Amino acid sequence: MAISLAVFICAGLALGWGNARFTQLSVARIAGSATGGVGALAALALARLFVLTAVSVAFAFLVRPGGVGILLGLAVFQAMALLRVARVRT
């Protein structure tokens, strides 16, 4: 169980990193286009977060008990990202 939990925590970290990377690419693409705007950015964010949530909740329910590690990995990634932003701002 410990190995599968660690694997799913790493998968959650990878999903968080992928989400951050896709966010950067989406913002860069929309900022560079003449037709893009807040609505396009919101639509892309909604689709990306829907897929991320669906994948993580599906793994949490289908692969018990280790699948919950994916949610833990996402939470750890978000905490690290928040601490990074807070450190850069001060």
Tokens representing 37 are 């705007």
pLDDT in tens, 42-87: 888 899 999 999 999 998 899 888 889 999 999 999 999 899 888 8
10 Å Cβ neighbour count for 84? 10
H, E, C per residue of 56-70: HHHHHHHCCCHHHHH
pLDDT in tens, 10-52: 999 999 999 999 999 988 888 877 777 778 888 888 999 999 9
Q: Say whether 41 sits in a helix, a strand or coil.
A: helix
